Structure 1
Amino acid sequence: MKLPNWITRMLPGLGATDPAPETMREAAGANVDPDDENWRKLTGDADRDLSPMTQARMQQMAAYLWESNLMANRLVELGVAYLLAEGVKLTCKDAEAQKVLKRFWRDPINNMPLKLAEKVRELALFGEQCYPVFVNELSGHVRLGYLDPSLIGRVVMDPDNGSQPIGVITRRDAAGNCLRYKVIINGPEEVFTARTRKIRESYADGECFYVRVNNMAAGGRGRSDLLAQADWLDAYDEFLFGELDRAKFLRAFFWDVTITGGTPEDVKRRAAEISAPAPGAVRVHNDAEQWKTETPDLKAADSSEHARLFRNHVLGGATIPEHWFGGGGDVNRSTAGEMGEPTFKVFSMRQGLWKIVLEDMGRYALRRASLATTGAEPDFEDEAYEVEAVFPELTARDTTKWAAALQQVATAMLVMVNAKLISRATAVKMLATVAGRLGVEIDAEDELANAEQDAATKAANDAFNGLTPAKDAAAA
């Protein structure tokens, strides 16, 4: 029997033998958390996203500025108007595929002619949009849902490709539950590595389209178009409210009454007797009393330059010219046209992004319809299934100068071809370049081949009718 330790310490002789050494075991365990890949390290990996608190604050401020700040509202609404004013449509050459696209586009829940403006606006405001999809398993018909950006907890990136989002995880609700959506990729899962495919399998709450702007490649979340301007927009509003208060003070005045040779008692007595005259009233006094009005001199002329400075700082950061926001400045018609070019480039880039997004949605609608009805993927290599999002022109084209240029180029090309200085193919390419400025896209090679074929056909018909070029010219 082993004696207690306190007895052996007091009476060492009683311990006949030393106790057997205890076996030491190292603690071991396994992580059974199903979403282990979604935890961030406290140190180590670089993260280009804003902190969750800053991201939420950015979205709140963007919505507040859009609602209450005139300039912020215009910065966002100008882009929406230029992108969508005349409407957008999805087209496809295949007749059956076009029916699928039309059904998706005009579905009473999707209602893209009405809701597309909301989507474009909120992408600019919040920097990201998430649309869960709901698919009819029998027909493959697709309907879009909406996940408010404030409910997005995290966007998960591909561990083998840090710029590719693969999943969206919502914030946990009161019960501690969250939804895990798989980001839609119009392609087979084999485009991902085995590790990424295993991660995507855990997103079992459905699929979603995830769109982001102003993001960095190493970050998952988008940023608002108003993020950089938010403080300046608020400061400009405060400045204008201050100017409003100053304008009120400028309209204020008071009567200054001077009593010549009066004693302090005379002044007090007269002050108790008089009152400010009403408009149109008659005031009578002798030469010992003088009345005049006094107004504050607050140097109001200085404020206009300050307002222009602050306004142009914000507008310049958003690539909006001054005369688009009520400021004429030193702008004339010629310079105004040149100043708008950078703005249209920015709008065109955003239009290109939405073109890609809508075409992806259209291809997804065709894929799900084809899988539900035929069990096979549509052949998107076939031109008949090529989905195109058709947007309105950003600006009305000035066709006058390009029409004149086309005539001049056509004359020059005719002279150069007859002089054998250039080939007919090069001449047609030159004409196609100018025609593109008029909104007509021409494939130079196809156009030349068709023209030569038409000429050959006409020559054969003339020969059949017994006409020769000389006779034809004489008849004309």
Structure 2
Amino acid sequence: MSPARAGLLTRLVQPVIARLVQPVIDRQVRRALSTAETDASFAIGSRAGDTLSDRYPYDREEIQRQALEAWRVNPLARRIVGLTSQYVVGGGVSISCPHPATAAFLRTFWEHPLNRLPVRVYEWCDELTRSGNLFILLTTDASGMSYARAIPAAQVRRILSRPNDLDQETAFEMQPNWAEGEPVAWQVYDPREEQRTSEGTFRPVMLHYAINRPVGAQWGESDLAPALRWLSRYAAWLEDRARLNRFRTAFLYIVRARFTSEAERRARQSSLNAAPPSPGSILVTDENETWDALHPRLESDDAGQDGLALKKMLAAGAGIPMHFLAEPEGSTRTTAEAAGGPTYRHFEQRQRFFLWLLSDLLRAVVNRRSAVDGRISRRAEVALTGADISARDNVSLSMAANNISAVLRGVRDRGLIDDAEFLRLIYRFCGESVDVEEMLARGKTAGSREPSKGVKTAAQPVKVDPETGEEKTGGVNG
């Protein structure tokens, strides 16, 4: 076909193809734009499970495996994870709810033999610290009682989310089970899509919580992730030092003598090997035989500094001071007290997240129970309280509030500040963050009380060290 005929055919066919194909293309484009505009999009164009902020699946699974192995065999890793749970959970978590029926149900759920949350919260905190992710499978029977099970993060293969928003998770695909065949995918909990089955039960759902998660990522990371390499190096260094110290006291005897033949030398060596001299024994020789001891000379004067440098790297990666890892480092108590400040702030942030995690779980449990039991209120306020991170902070805060209250009372009496500012400053020095307007409204509802007569409160009855929180010797004047 000549070029002229080909060009003429193209000009004749193109309009026909455009009229047939262009409407299909336009419909596809409009459908895509409509989806992006109606699904609360925040990351338009991103695909579920394919983000630049997440690690590759193999790297993520390898880090989770190494973190679990380090927690099992490395004492420092076990200590770091245990410290976090001891401070975050501490003496336990208390639940309060003003609605009587809802509060009774929450206590039943919390202490149910198949839940045992007073004990499981420690395991959950360990898993959250160790893997950076906490997957909770929630199942509910026909009576509305829910049962929570933590699923290891290593068993989750993929997190599915909406095409245009990674934060809106939809399902969790588990690792394939070769005995059962196809992998299982658990749907995410969504209160707007709750449907009961024909048997009156609810479908199992999964909740996901993550820490150390970069913006735009789906997976969290372990607290041990930046310290895994240094944990391995410190363990190898310590093993080498232990091996060298074992052979430090080893020695060999060298016997020098003038032998007439090789057979005589071998005979003398055989006799000594048959009955070697024991420590503390006396050897008597003549001038023809000389005894010397050969032992290794290990120059290890700087070995302690090397180990301390490795341990400092571990402490920096874990965010805890050296004395938390049985390394005093300094001889003064003030240095150790000052080093704990940033660590306590870290534990406070983690505790705040963990309490929110539990409250979110309890909210899902209450929602499912309310669909069966009309006495349960979905709108009932559920508050969770954790243990104090540091009792010494409470002593310092109480001293500050006690000392500032008299000053603020005088300022308020002079009309320089109002009640709202007075209450805000009081709670500020107590270290608490409250809604001032709500507190004032509750105070007006409770009514005023007459102050007790004849009772005077000292500004500071005893001298207390603000750094340590302990009472100083000598009383007020001492």
Q: TM-score, normalised by structure 1?
A: 0.73
Match of 1:378 in 2: 377
Match of 2:172 in 1: 168
What is the Cα deviation at residue 320 of structure 1?
Answer: 1.3
SS of aligned partner of 2:209: strand
What is the Cα deviation at residue 379 of structure 1?
Answer: 4.6
Match of 1:305 in 2: 305
What is the Cα deviation at residue 323 of structure 1?
Answer: 1.2
Structure 1, residues 207-247: CA drift from partner, whole Å, max 9, x if none?
11112222233222222222222122112111111111111
Structure 1, residues 50-105: CA drift from partner, whole Å, max 9, x if none?
22222222222111111101111111111011122311132211111011101111
The answer to whether the aligner puts 1:408 opposite 2:403 as a matched pair is yes
Give me the whole-angstrom Cα distance separating, in 2, the residues matched to 1:372 and 1:310: 57
Given the superposition, is the C-alpha separation of residues 62 and 243 from structure 1 closer, same or farther in structure 2, using an over 3 Å criterion? same
The answer to whether the aligner puts 1:183 opposite 2:182 as a matched pair is no
Match of 1:352 in 2: 352
Given the superposition, is the C-alpha separation of residues 273 and 188 from structure 1 closer, same or farther in structure 2, using an over 3 Å criterion? closer
Which residues of 2 match residues 237-248 of structure 1 at below 5 A?
237-248=235-246
Give me the whole-angstrom Cα distance separating, in 2, the residues matched to 1:451 and 1:409: 25
Which residues of 2 match residues 99-178 of structure 1 at below 5 A?
99-137=104-142, 139-174=143-178, 175-178=180-183
Cα contact 1:179–1:205 (8 A) shared by 2? no
Match of 2:337 in 1: 337
SS of aligned partner of 1:157: strand
Cα contact 2:173–2:186 (8 A) shared by 1? yes
Residue 448 of structure 2, aligned match among 442, 448, 453: 453
Question: How large is the RMSD of aligned CA atoms in angstroms?
Answer: 3.8
Structure 1, residues 143-200: CA drift from partner, whole Å, max 9, x if none?
1234332321210122232223221122333354232222124x5359xxxxxxxxxx
Match of 1:433 in 2: 428
Give me the whole-angstrom Cα distance separating, in 1, the residues matched to 2:165 and 2:384: 28
Given the superposition, is the C-alpha separation of residues 307 and 264 from structure 1 closer, same or farther in structure 2, using an over 3 Å criterion? farther
Give me the whole-angstrom Cα distance separating, in 1, the residues matched to 2:188 and 2:172: 7
What is the Cα deviation at residue 264 of structure 1?
Answer: 6.7
Residue 214 of structure 1, aligned match among 204, 209, 212: 212
Match of 2:41 in 1: none
SS of aligned partner of 1:372: coil
Given the superposition, is the C-alpha separation of residues 46 and 448 from structure 1 closer, same or farther in structure 2, using an over 3 Å criterion? closer
Which residues of 2 match residues 5-20 of structure 1 at below 5 A?
none
Sequence identity of aligned pairs in percent? 23
Give me the whole-angstrom Cα distance separating, in 2, the residues matched to 1:127 and 1:117: 15
Give me the whole-angstrom Cα distance separating, in 2, the residues matched to 1:394 and 1:456: 33
Match of 1:461 in 2: none
SS of aligned partner of 2:139: strand
Give me the whole-angstrom Cα distance separating, in 1, the residues matched to 2:292 and 2:405: 78
Given the superposition, is the C-alpha separation of residues 321 and 98 from structure 1 closer, same or farther in structure 2, using an over 3 Å criterion? same
What is the Cα deviation at residue 256 of structure 1?
Answer: 3.6
What is the Cα deviation at residue 309 of structure 1?
Answer: 0.8
The answer to whether the aligner puts 1:92 opposite 2:74 as a matched pair is no
Give me the whole-angstrom Cα distance separating, in 2, the residues matched to 1:229 and 1:149: 19
SS of aligned partner of 1:131: strand
More moved, 411-420 vs 145-154: 411-420
SS of aligned partner of 2:311: helix
Give me the whole-angstrom Cα distance separating, in 2, the residues matched to 1:447 and 1:264: 108
SS of aligned partner of 1:453: coil
Cα contact 2:366–2:378 (8 A) shared by 1? no
What is the Cα deviation at residue 252 of structure 1?
Answer: 0.7
Cα contact 1:429–1:444 (8 A) shared by 2? no
Cα contact 1:100–1:365 (8 A) shared by 2? no
Match of 2:38 in 1: none
Given the superposition, is the C-alpha separation of residues 428 and 172 from structure 1 closer, same or farther in structure 2, using an over 3 Å criterion? closer
Q: Residue type matched to 1:300 in 2?
A: S
Match of 2:466 in 1: none
Give me the whole-angstrom Cα distance separating, in 2, the residues matched to 1:118 and 1:163: 26
Residue 232 of structure 2, aligned match among 231, 234, 238: 234
Give me the whole-angstrom Cα distance separating, in 2, the residues matched to 1:158 and 1:447: 43
The answer for unaligned runs of 5 or more in structure 2 is: 1-20, 22-44, 195-201, 454-478
Given the superposition, is the C-alpha separation of residues 447 and 248 from structure 1 closer, same or farther in structure 2, using an over 3 Å criterion? same
What is the Cα deviation at residue 452 of structure 1?
Answer: 8.6
What is the Cα deviation at residue 372 of structure 1?
Answer: 1.1
Structure 1, residues 317-347: CA drift from partner, whole Å, max 9, x if none?
1111111111111252112111111112222
Count matched residues: 400
Match of 1:70 in 2: 75
Structure 1, residues 124-157: CA drift from partner, whole Å, max 9, x if none?
22222222221123x2111123433232121012
Give me the whole-angstrom Cα distance separating, in 2, the residues matched to 1:173 and 1:400: 54
Give me the whole-angstrom Cα distance separating, in 2, the residues matched to 1:421 and 1:44: 58
SS of aligned partner of 1:86: coil
Cα contact 2:132–2:222 (8 A) shared by 1? yes
Given the superposition, is the C-alpha separation of residues 100 and 323 from structure 1 closer, same or farther in structure 2, using an over 3 Å criterion? same
Greater C-alpha radius of gyration: 1
Give me the whole-angstrom Cα distance separating, in 1, the residues matched to 2:151 and 2:403: 55
Given the superposition, is the C-alpha separation of residues 128 and 44 from structure 1 closer, same or farther in structure 2, using an over 3 Å criterion? closer
What is the Cα deviation at residue 413 of structure 1?
Answer: 3.3
Cα contact 2:101–2:376 (8 A) shared by 1? no
The answer for unaligned runs of 5 or more in structure 1 is: 1-25, 27-39, 191-203, 459-476
Give me the whole-angstrom Cα distance separating, in 2, the residues matched to 1:44 and 1:77: 31
Match of 1:388 in 2: 383
